[in-house]
Amino acid sequence: MSAGDLVEEVRRERLLPAPRVLKLIRQAAGVSQARVARELGVGRVSVARYELGQRKPRGELLARYIALLEALQAEVRL
């Protein structure tokens, strides 16, 4: 990983909301953990772990998750 990649990863991590907010955004949009998981290409348990603060997505998955959350949040106006 280059220094630029590391900096970008740190920037993305700062954009990821707190675990409880991840769940609030998803629920406000009326979307299941299973649906979010399918969109991200991960298992439902992974999404549950993100929402519990047990795990954090990394790399490209993190970028896709943030983009999905931003799109959902824009639709529900949280």
pLDDT of the residue at 7:
81
* pTM listed for this prediction: 0.85
Which one, of 67, 78, 66, 64, lies nearest residue 25 by Cα?
A: 78
- Whether 78 has a pLDDT exceeding 70, the answer reads no
Q: How many domains does the chain have?
A: 1
pLDDT of the residue at 11:
81
CATH of the domain at 59: 1.10.260.40
pLDDT of the residue at 1:
64
Helix, strand, coil percentages for the chain (3-state, nearest 5): 75, 0, 25
Q: Which residues contact 75 (CB under 8 A, 6 or more apart)?
A: 29
Find the domain containing 49 and state its range. Answer: 3-76
pLDDT digits (tens, 9 = 90+) for 34-74: 999 999 999 999 999 999 999 999 989 999 999 999 999 99
Q: How far apart are CA 34 and CA 46, in angstroms?
A: 10
pLDDT of the residue at 45:
98
